[in-house]
Amino acid sequence: MTSKQAAANTPSPISIAAKGYAVDSESTPFKLFNFERRMPAADDVVIRIHYCGICHSDIHQVYNEWHSSKYPMVPGHEITGVVEQVGSSVKGFRVGDHAGVGCMVDSCRKCATCKKDIEQVCGDLCLTYNSTELDKVTPTYGGYSNLITVKEHFVCKIPKNLPLDAAAPLLCAGITTYSPLRRYKVDKHTQLGIVGLGGLGHIGVKLGAAMGAHVTVISTSESKRDDAMKLGAKVFIVSKDDEQMKTVANSLDLIIDTVSAPHDVGPLLNLLKFEGVYCVVGAPTKPLEVGAFTLLMKRPTITGSGIGGMKETQEMLDFCGKHNITCDIEKIDATPETIKAAYDRTVKADVKYRFVLDILNAFK
């Protein structure tokens, strides 16, 4: 038999070997996890993962704080890397392209919301991890791994001028703050408030300032004042200081609240103008308490936002490319120990402002 004949007789591989870090339960440490990514279908892109941001959602889900975790879990939905293979009908990507994957890897693509480019609301949404593929069976594994196969529609181009490491958190933190800024038409006339200066908050300040808004940062801690100004804020107030809060009363068009720790919403609503907008993007587990009189007299819009559709995510990345915006990151090696230490520091808000795992050099 010639080698050609031998090759023809060998079954083609149906999967690609991959390595990741997974947890087996809410109380066990990360361990090396050998698993498989699918071979690219005609519309798939295979990405060599270079970097993955640590999002606070990863921590919530690893520790089963939302009571919906399935194990083994490979977290990570702020993924950047380089295209390694493309399926035969892929039009938008070539081998070598800089690419990013966020919180979604598939949806039905047929329902009214998918057609309106808000895939995150699809009833059949497939999240990047702790979820299943459209077959409702195959588990999805996230970006704390060296490789991922994703349908083209759910992959974004990272503008060439943005470094892949500092761009990674844009795939969740970036789009989560960008979306409401666009929905509420933030521009040079807008008085914008950002509550909290962490992963979401810091990029909210950068994006809002880049859109021309006057940005006020509201924080619990005076120590963040200088950073807020360096990021592009014009005003900084400490939420527990009644006098400082009074100086901003009835002055803001839009507040983006990034804080997930329990906190009083009433004093924040007092900062809004008549008919201003208060938008929750953090995920406090306790309900917000809103007084009826505030609703009747100030008639605010109280709403929320979570990530954004694929079209808007690409638009956000292009905006960041144009304005040279990336996240402020602390890049770390990817090992079970460094991930644990990063989780502990993130929960204490002890990071400026996102940890990013160096996946390219992991698993060696």
Partner 1 sequence: MSPAQNNTIPAKAYAVFADDSPFKVFDFERRTPRVDDVVIRIHYCGICHSDIHHVYNEWKKETYPLVPGHEITGVVEQVGSSVKHFSVGDHVGVGCVVDTCLKCEPCKKHKEQHCPDVCYTYGSTELDKVTPTHGGYSNLVTVKEHFVCKIPNNLPLDAAAPLLCAGITTYSPLRQYNVGKDSRIGVVGLGGLGHMGVKLGAAMGAHVTVISTSESKRNDAIKLGAKAFLVSKDKEQMKTAANSLDLIIDTVSAPHDVNALIDLLKFEGVYCLVGAPPKPLEIGAFPLIMKRPIITGSNIGGMKETQEMLDFCGKHNIVCDIEKIQATPETIKTAYDRTVKSDVKYRFVLDMLNAFK
Sites of contact with partner 1 (CB under 8 A): 113, 118, 121, 266, 274, 280-285, 287-306
Q: Are 273 and 251 in contact (CB under 8 A)?
A: yes
Closer to partner 1 by CB, 38 or 311: give it. Answer: 311
CA nearest neighbour of 154 among 116, 97, 103, 110: 103
**Closest separation between CB of residue 280 and partner 1, Å?**
5
**Closest separation between CB of residue 184 and partner 1, Å?**
11
**Closest separation between CB of residue 283 and partner 1, Å?**
5
Report the alpha-carbon distance of residue 203 to residue 139 in Å, rounded. Answer: 31
Closer to partner 1 by CB, 25 or 68: give it. Answer: 68
**Closest separation between CB of residue 339 and partner 1, Å?**
25
Closer to partner 1 by CB, 297 or 341: give it. Answer: 297
**Closest separation between CB of residue 279 and partner 1, Å?**
8
**Closest separation between CB of residue 294 and partner 1, Å?**
8
**Closest separation between CB of residue 260 and partner 1, Å?**
8
Q: Report the b/e string of 242-251 with b at 16+ CB within 10 A.
A: eeebeebeee
Closer to partner 1 by CB, 113 or 251: give it. Answer: 113
Report the alpha-carbon distance of residue 360 to residue 81 in Å, rounded. Answer: 9
Backbone angles phi and psi of 185, in degrees to 5: 55, 50
Closer to partner 1 by CB, 44 or 119: give it. Answer: 119
Closer to partner 1 by CB, 18 or 277: give it. Answer: 277
Longest dimension (CA), the chain: 87
Q: Report the b/e string of 121-137 with b at 16+ CB within 10 A.
A: ebebbbbbbbbeeeeee
Closer to partner 1 by CB, 40 or 193: give it. Answer: 193
CA nearest neighbour of 178 among 116, 102, 126, 114: 102
Vertex 194, ends 174 and 341: CA angle to 5°? 60
Backbone angles phi and psi of 115, in degrees to 5: -70, -25
Report the alpha-carbon distance of residue 270 to residue 5 in Å, rounded. Answer: 76
* Pair type for strands 31-38 and 147-151: unpaired
